[in-house]
Structure 1
Amino acid sequence: MSEQGKKWLYLSVLTLIWGSSFILIKKSLVGLSPYQVGALRIVFTAFFLFSVGFKKMGEIKKRHWKWIAISGFLSSFFPPFFFALAQTEVDSGVASVLNSLTPLNTLLAGTVFFGITTTKKQAYGVFIGFIGTLILILKGAEFNPDQNYWYSILIIMSTLGYALNVNILKKYLTDISALAVTTGNFAFIVLPALVILWGTGFFETVMSSEAMQLSVLYVTVLSLFGTAFAKVLFNKLIQIASPVFASSVTYTMPLLAIVWGLLDGESFSLLQLLGGLVILTGVYLANNRKKE
């Protein structure tokens, strides 16, 4: 398959996997606390990656380790906790739309920290995207007054972490395999996650609670596919495509996530939909590097 064909295949698979991850987080929170969901995602993913990618870590040289550690915490440690905490107050569909800020923040991070030049059209895209974010959050708070939309900030912080990670991978880590990078990421974050999981009392209560056991099943699916497999696939995509193209999985991902949310009884107003469309319009413009 050509490089171009691989790019679109990877993007399609990631859309399917990550578009379903928000509803899986929601289901996991039925029997588990946000900290348990976040920690379990990391621990399960780490064990899976170590079983298939431990030998690949031999590719990692001394100069890589600093960036792998930073990359791991930005993209794989904090976001699982932030998303789980956010979805205790914000619907899964809304969380997926806010996640669409990743390409915009990728552009901003590339410009501010990595010296990547931007066009006026891309700058307009960033501005439009953040206008859409304000519409989505403010109108969502009106439409769902029982939800605390301040928790949306946690999702925005996660997208900033993803954005920095994409640029780090593209600039410093393209000379080693995606599996080596991902396994190295989790080598740094698995022990802190285990400490957090232990501190929640998970191991003392899980065997006596059917609700917790069912939620653990959801986290297992989320970890193996939504985190482990998808992380490796995403790192592969970054290595053969531009950072902004790689993060464009957020175009179609919200559509699937919103459908899952509606099927699960969530509500989504027309003004929230408008805000989401404004965000995606901004993402489209930000992805367009054609000279004016």
Structure 2
Amino acid sequence: MRINEIDAEKGSNHLPLYFLKYILVNHRLINVLIFILLALTWGSSFILMKIGLQSFSSNQVASMRLLAAGISLLPFFFYFIRKTPRGKLPVIILSGLLGNGIPAYLFCLAETQIDSSLAGILNSLTPLFALLSGIVLFKAPMVKKQLIGICVGLIGVVGLFAVKGIQTNEYWYYSFFVIAACICYGLNIALVHHYLKGYSSLQLGSIALFFMAIFALPILLFSDIKAAFQTGATPWESLGASAVLGIMGTGVASVLFYQLIKRAGGMMASMVTYALPVVAIGWGFVAGESISWLQVVCMGIILSGVYLANNAAKKAPVVEDTPVKS
């Protein structure tokens, strides 16, 4: 049967083919599917870190993540490295350190003490720190509503600390590692916005992650990884989680984000920020983490601040191809 005859037989055995045709021709649906897959991929990064930490140290999990991500994007690296001016490489490497390298180690270190769901909630601060970085370092203009959004977001963070932080000092201390990682993300977004505008996320990501993998390799080799396999409770499960974290959570997610920007624009791609903590909380429930309704309220306050700040910046020039990471 020809594909154009399927419309007349929606109720027949050819329904799966009709549905496939509908997906292929409906670009908006494809964009939504990419958005959902990206949110699930990035939002799952936090629980994957937790699984990796069951047998390996934070440095080992972060190093394996960067190695796996760098290897997964090697074909793109070989393609793009020839098209990239040598003078831009130091800036791209700095972008890799701020956008992937340093945050990978900070997040893993934080999750040795805090829940993965909390890390996912705090990660939603990234757009606010990107806005602050542009204002402080690059003298970007700021309107009153942006300042209000930043303040609302910070109130949500203070609320998170108040909800659980008074119970244990470790909660306060290790939560700040996540905030430091978000600051790195924000600095990287501002850096890319001002110095790497003409390059795609895939080009920057493949080159940056190649060098991050090179930096991570000696850290992993000198971390006594063999001992972890001998003493770890579930070393192969943790290794698999770390590999998936790098390949999917960093490598494939970069490609998906790049495609979403090209197909639907930067505005829809930026909305992933709001979905990540929801996915992280969902995995936290599955893993049996303690999540109170007050934490969910604080997450809502943070996301409200992000929305206010982003909404106020709509009239400002938008960079359509800026990497966002987790």
TM superposition score normalised by structure 2:
0.80
**Residue type matched to 2:120 in 1?**
S
Q: Which residue of 1 aligns with 2:199?
A: 176
For the 8 Å contact 2:55–2:228, the answer to whether it is kept is no
Q: What's the Cα RMSD here?
A: 2.6
Which one of the candidate residues 165, 185, 191 is aligned to 2:208?
A: 185
Give me the identity figure in percent.
36
* 1:59-96: CA deviation from partner (whole Å, max 9, x where unpaired): 11133212201100001101111111101111111110
Q: What is the correspondence of 1:234-245 to structure 2 with a 5 Å cutoff?
A: 234-235=257-258, 241=265
Q: Which residue of 2 aligns with 1:34?
A: 58
C-alpha distance 262-210 of structure 1, shift in aligned 2 (>3 A): closer
Q: Which residue of 2 aligns with 1:276?
A: 299
Q: What is the correspondence of 1:73-152 to structure 2 with a 5 Å cutoff?
A: 73-142=97-166, 145=168, 147-152=170-175
Which one of the candidate residues 84, 99, 118 is aligned to 1:60?
A: 84
Provide the secondary structure at the position in 1 that maps to 2:64.
Answer: helix
**Residue type matched to 1:174 in 2?**
K
Distance in 1 between residues matched to 2:180 and 2:68, nearest whole Å: 23
Deviation of residue 39 (structure 1)? 0.5
* 1:89-134: CA deviation from partner (whole Å, max 9, x where unpaired): 1111111000010011111112122332222111100011001101
For the 8 Å contact 1:206–1:212, the answer to whether it is kept is yes
For the 8 Å contact 2:46–2:116, the answer to whether it is kept is yes
Count of residue pairs the alignment pairs up: 289
Deviation of residue 246 (structure 1)? 4.7
C-alpha distance 24-69 of structure 1, shift in aligned 2 (>3 A): same
Q: Which residue of 2 aligns with 1:250?
A: 273
**Residue type matched to 1:122 in 2?**
Q
* 1:152-198: CA deviation from partner (whole Å, max 9, x where unpaired): 11111111111121222233323233332112102322222111111
Which one of the candidate residues 220, 226, 230 is aligned to 2:249?
A: 226
**Residue type matched to 2:92 in 1?**
I
* 1:239-266: CA deviation from partner (whole Å, max 9, x where unpaired): 7855x87544221111111011012111
Deviation of residue 270 (structure 1)? 2.5
For the 8 Å contact 1:43–1:194, the answer to whether it is kept is yes
For the 8 Å contact 1:71–1:168, the answer to whether it is kept is yes
C-alpha distance 73-206 of structure 1, shift in aligned 2 (>3 A): same
For the 8 Å contact 1:166–1:238, the answer to whether it is kept is no
Distance in 1 between residues matched to 2:98 and 2:28, nearest whole Å: 28
Higher relative contact order (CA 8 A, sep 6+): 1
Q: Which residue of 2 aligns with 1:160?
A: 183
Q: Which residue of 2 aligns with 1:201?
A: 224
Q: Which residue of 1 aligns with 2:36?
A: 12
Distance in 1 between residues matched to 2:142 and 2:273, nearest whole Å: 20
Distance in 1 between residues matched to 2:200 and 2:310, nearest whole Å: 26
Distance in 2 between residues matched to 1:251 and 1:39, nearest whole Å: 27
Provide the secondary structure at the position in 2 that maps to 1:148.
Answer: helix
C-alpha distance 98-11 of structure 1, shift in aligned 2 (>3 A): same
Which one of the candidate residues 263, 285, 288 is aligned to 1:262?
A: 285
**Residue type matched to 2:241 in 1?**
Y
C-alpha distance 16-59 of structure 1, shift in aligned 2 (>3 A): same
Computing the radius of gyration from Cα coordinates, the structure with the larger value is 2
Provide the secondary structure at the position in 1 that maps to 2:73.
Answer: helix
Deviation of residue 201 (structure 1)? 0.5
Distance in 2 between residues matched to 1:12 and 1:115, nearest whole Å: 35
Provide the secondary structure at the position in 2 that maps to 1:251.
Answer: helix
TM superposition score normalised by structure 1:
0.89
**Residue type matched to 1:26 in 2?**
K
Name which of structure 1's ranges 16-25 and 171-180 shifts more when overlaid on structure 2: 171-180
**Residue type matched to 2:274 in 1?**
Y
**Residue type matched to 2:181 in 1?**
S
Deviation of residue 146 (structure 1)? 8.0
